């Protein structure tokens, strides 16, 4: 039996068939649907979660590989200032990429890399937004980074 620790809670997981990605385990087995499936091939960043504090793509990670790891998803954030900033800056339209954007930005703040707008764009470049809300996403991240 594999054990996934997600947002502080331990979940036993039957992976007799190991073809389960972390993304599918979160959404289909644990009913944590905040993490989104965009491209499902590591190109869009919608499935970004934290694994032991580092941002990764849940779609290219096998759930079995996360045995004993600490996973943090958007559901694990407790009214993070970035969530508030995304709302106030209107940093989305359809919202599908937003949980990935926020998880990526949470990690970015921890990496101390949000120095300039150019840095924010570079270090958020693994998160695509088909609605093109980029300028407002940068504004939201910038605001939280300045007040951090």
Residues forming contacts to another protein in the complex (CB under 8 A) are 15, 17-19, 21, 40-42, 45, 48, 51, 54-57, 60-62, 64-65, 67, 104, 107-108, 111, 121-123, 125-127
Task: Name the residue nearer to another protein (CB basis): 84 or 122.
Answer: 122
Task: Name the residue nearer to another protein (CB basis): 45 or 76.
Answer: 45
| Alpha-carbon span 122 to 126, nearest angstrom | 8
Q: How far is the CB of 17 from another protein (least distance, A)?
A: 7
Q: Cβ(25)–Cβ(4) under 8 Å?
A: yes
Q: How far is the CB of 47 from another protein (least distance, A)?
A: 9
Task: Name the residue nearer to another protein (CB basis): 79 or 118.
Answer: 118
Task: Name the residue nearer to another protein (CB basis): 28 or 84.
Answer: 28
Q: How far is the CB of 147 from another protein (least distance, A)?
A: 22
């Amino acid at each position: 039996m594999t054990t996934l620790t997600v947002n502080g809670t331990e979940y036993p997981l039957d992976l007799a068939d190991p073809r389960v990605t972390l993304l599918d385990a979160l959404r289909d087995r644990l009913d944590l649907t905040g993490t989104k499936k965009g491209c499902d091939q590591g190109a869009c960043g919608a499935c970004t979660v934290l694994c032991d504090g580092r941002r990764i793509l849940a779609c290219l990670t096998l759930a079995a590989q996360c045995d004993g790891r600490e996973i943090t998803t958007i559901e694990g954030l407790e009214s993070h200032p970035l969530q508030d900033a995304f709302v106030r800056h209107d940093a989305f339209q359809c919202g599908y990429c937003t949980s990935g954007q926020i998880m990526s930005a949470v990690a970015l703040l921890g990496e101390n890399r949000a120095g300039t707008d150019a840095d924010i764009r570079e270090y958020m470049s693994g998160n695509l937004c088909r609605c093109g809300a980029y300028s407002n996403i940068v504004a939201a991240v910038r605001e939280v980074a300045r007040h951090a």
